[in-house]
C-alpha cells in the first residue's frame, strides 16, 4: 500500500481574499465620508472680502423709508360748475394770477334759453299779481259802496220803525203797518250783517290769493337769480392769488359740469405727500415725525393728514415742515424720508447687511474669539429700520458678525478666515 500524502492548506482562500477586499473598501468609504464631511462643513474665505460688524447695545428707533413729493401747501382746483363750450381763454398755464382774474369763458345756449323762459314766466306772474290786486281793490270798493247803501237804508228804516212804534203805542197806527215797518228794519239789519261778513270773507280770500301769488313770484325771482348766477359761473375766475400750474382747456372744447379745468398753487408754503405700504396703516397717526437729508443738512417733518383709502396696496399721507424749509425746494421734488414709527428704546443692535436675503434673519456667522474662523448661530430678529436689526435672541454686545452676503457659502457650518 502506498503512503498517503499530506495536502497543504491554502493560505489565501477566495473567501479570505473577499473579506479582506470588503474590509479595505469599508475603510476607504469611511475615510472618504469623513474627509467629505469635514470639507463640506468648513470653507476657506478671504477675510478682506467680508463685511464684519460689531453687535452693540444702544437706542433703537424704528422707522421706515418712504419717498415723498413736494407739493404746495394749498392747491385750489378749478372745475366747471356749469357745462359748456370753451369760447375764450384769458390766461395760460404757468402764469401768476390774482384773485378774481378771468381765466376762461364757457358758452351754454341751453342755459340762456332757460333764463329767457324764466324771465317770461316771471313777467306773466307779475302781471297776474298786479291784476289780482286791481280786482281786489275794485271788489273792496264795490262792497264798501254796497254796505254804505244798506246802512243808509237801515238808517231811514230805523226812523220809520221808531215813529211807527210810537204811533202804534198811542193806537194811532194799525198793527199791520207797525209790523211791516218792524220787519223791513230787521231785514235791513240782517242784510247789513251778511254784507259785512261777505266783505270780510272776500277780502281774506283775496288776501290769501295775493300772498300765494307773491310767494310764487318770489320763488320765480330766486330761481331766475340762481339761473343768472349759473350764467356768471360760465366765466371761470381765479378763487385765490397764486400760480396757475394747469389749465386744461382749448377753444371749442365741450366741458361737462364738475369737470376739472386746472389748478392754482399757493406758493407761500410747501407740504410733502408720500405713499406708504398698507401694512403700516394701523401704526401711522397724526403727529408722527420724519426726517430727510438734503444738501448735507437734516430737516424735520410731521404727519398732518392720513388718507386711509388703500389703492394698489398703498395709502397716502401728508407731511409738513416743522421748523424750516430747505432753500430752493421746488414743486414735484422727491424726498427720501425716514418716517418714525415709535419711540426710542434700548436694544441689542446688529447693522443691516446682505446676509438677511439668504438666512431670512434666522441665523448668522459669528466670529470665534481668535477671529480666525466663524460658525453658524441661530438668532431671533425683532424690529428693524434702514440701519439696524433689533436682536431679541442669539447675540450679545461685543460679538463680531459677518453681515455681508452669504450667497456662496451653501449653508455650511464653519468658515475658515484667511
Q: Which residue has the higher pLDDT, 142 or 52?
A: 52
On the question of pLDDT at 105 being above 70, the answer is yes
For residue 32, what pLDDT is reported?
A: 52
Band of residue 79 on the pLDDT scale cut at 50, 70, 90: confident
d(CA 323, CA 296): 17
Is 384 a domain residue?
A: yes
On the question of pLDDT at 161 being above 50, the answer is yes
User: What residues make up the domain containing 409?
Assistant: 42-60+346-417
Q: 3-class DSSP state for residue 238?
A: coil
Q: Which residue has the higher pLDDT, 340 or 114?
A: 340
d(CA 261, CA 238): 12
Same structural domain, 254 and 148: no
d(CA 84, CA 198): 57
**What percent of the chain shows pLDDT beyond 90?**
23
Is 139 a domain residue?
A: yes
For residue 106, what pLDDT is reported?
A: 86
Same structural domain, 120 and 218: yes
Here the CATH number for the domain that contains residue 240 is 2.40.50.100
Same structural domain, 172 and 188: yes
Is 396 a domain residue?
A: yes
Side-chain-facing half-sphere of 292: CA atoms under 13 Å: 24
User: For 161-167, what is the mean pLDDT?
Assistant: 88
Is 196 a domain residue?
A: yes
Same structural domain, 359 and 408: yes
For residue 56, what pLDDT is reported?
A: 95
Angle, in degrees to the nearest 10, between helices 109-169 and 175-233: 170
Question: Position of cell 197806527?
Answer: 173
Supply 204's cell numbers: 281774506
For residue 12, what pLDDT is reported?
A: 64
Total domains present in the chain: 3
Same structural domain, 102 and 200: no
Nearest to 132 by CA among 203, 201, 221: 203
User: For 179-193, what is the mean pLDDT?
Assistant: 89
d(CA 345, CA 400): 23
User: For 399-410, what is the mean pLDDT?
Assistant: 90
Is 412 a domain residue?
A: yes
On the question of pLDDT at 10 being above 60, the answer is no
Here the CATH number for the domain that contains residue 222 is 1.10.287.1490
d(CA 82, CA 102): 16
Supply 335's cell numbers: 424726498
For residue 64, what pLDDT is reported?
A: 85
Same structural domain, 180 and 90: no
Same structural domain, 181 and 253: no
Same structural domain, 116 and 204: yes
At 279-325, the pLDDT tens digits run: 889 989 898 988 898 888 889 999 999 999 999 999 999 999 988 88
CB crowding 257-282: b at 16 or more within 10 Å, else e: eeeebbbbbeeeebbbebbbeeeeee
Host H or E run for residue 64: strand 56-79
For residue 37, what pLDDT is reported?
A: 46
Band of residue 334 on the pLDDT scale cut at 50, 70, 90: very high
On the question of pLDDT at 60 being above 70, the answer is yes
d(CA 309, CA 288): 19
Here the CATH number for the domain that contains residue 390 is 2.40.420.20
For residue 31, what pLDDT is reported?
A: 57
Same structural domain, 118 and 220: yes
User: For 326-348, what is the mean pLDDT?
Assistant: 86
Is 308 a domain residue?
A: no
Amino acid at each position: 500500500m502506498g503512503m498517503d500524502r499530506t495536502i497543504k492548506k491554502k493560505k489565501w482562500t477566495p473567501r479570505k481574499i473577499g473579506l479582506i477586499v470588503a474590509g479595505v473598501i469599508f475603510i476607504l468609504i469611511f475615510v472618504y465620508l469623513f474627509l467629505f464631511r469635514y470639507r463640506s462643513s468648513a470653507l476657506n474665505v478671504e477675510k478682506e472680502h467680508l463685511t464684519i460688524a460689531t453687535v452693540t447695545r444702544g437706542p433703537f428707533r424704528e422707522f421706515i423709508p418712504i419717498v415723498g413729493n413736494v407739493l404746495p401747501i394749498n392747491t385750489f382746483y378749478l372745475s366747471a360748475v356749469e357745462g359748456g363750450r370753451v369760447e375764450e381763454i384769458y390766461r395760460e398755464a404757468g402764469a401768476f394770477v390774482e384773485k378774481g382774474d378771468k381765466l376762461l369763458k364757457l358758452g351754454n345756449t341751453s342755459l340762456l334759453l332757460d333764463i329767457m323762459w324764466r324771465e317770461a314766466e316771471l313777467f306773466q306772474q307779475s302781471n297776474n299779481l298786479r291784476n289780482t290786486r286791481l280786482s281786489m281793490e275794485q271788489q273792496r270798493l264795490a262792497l264798501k259802496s254796497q254796505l254804505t247803501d244798506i246802512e243808509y237804508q237801515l238808517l231811514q228804516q230805523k226812523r220809520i220803525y221808531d215813529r211807527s212804534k210810537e204811533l202804534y203805542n198811542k193806537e194811532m197806527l194799525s198793527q199791520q203797518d207797525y209790523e211791516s215797518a218792524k220787519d223791513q228794519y230787521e231785514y235791513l239789519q240782517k242784510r247789513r250783517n251778511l254784507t259785512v261778513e261777505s266783505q270780510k270773507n272776500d277780502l281774506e280770500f283775496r288776501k290769501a290769493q295775493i300772498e300765494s301769488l307773491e310767494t310764487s313770484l318770489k320763488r320765480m325771482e330766486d330761481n331766475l337769480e340762481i339761473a343768472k348766477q349759473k350764467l356768471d359761473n360760465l366765466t371761470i375766475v381765479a378763487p385765490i392769488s397764486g400760480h396757475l400750474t394747469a389749465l386744461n382747456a382749448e377753444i371749442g372744447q365741450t366741458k361737462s359740469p364738475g369737470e376739472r379745468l386746472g389748478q392754482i398753487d399757493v406758493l407761500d408754503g410747501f407740504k410733502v405727500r408720500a405713499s406708504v405700504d398698507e401694512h403700516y396703516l394701523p401704526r401711522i397717526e397724526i403727529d408722527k415725525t420724519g426726517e430727510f437729508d438734503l444738501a448735507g443738512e437734516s430737516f424735520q417733518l410731521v404727519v398732518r393728514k392720513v388718507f386711509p383709502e388703500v389703492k394698489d396696496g398703498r395709502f397716502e399721507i401728508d407731511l409738513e415742515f416743522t421748523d424750516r424749509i430747505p432753500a430752493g425746494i421746488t414743486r414735484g421734488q422727491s424726498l427720501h424720508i425716514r418716517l418714525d414709527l415709535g419711540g426710542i428704546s434700548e436694544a441689542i443692535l446688529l447693522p443691516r447687511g446682505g446676509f438677511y436675503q439668504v438666512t431670512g434673519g434666522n441665523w448668522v456667522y459669528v466670529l470665534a474669539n481668535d477671529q480666525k474662523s466663524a460658525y453658524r448661530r441661530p438668532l431671533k430678529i425683532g424690529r428693524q429700520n434702514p440701519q439696524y436689526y433689533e436682536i431679541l435672541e442669539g447675540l450679545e454686545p461685543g460679538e463680531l458678525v459677518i453681515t455681508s452676503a452669504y450667497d456662496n457659502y451653501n449653508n455650511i457650518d464653519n468658515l475658515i478666515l484667511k
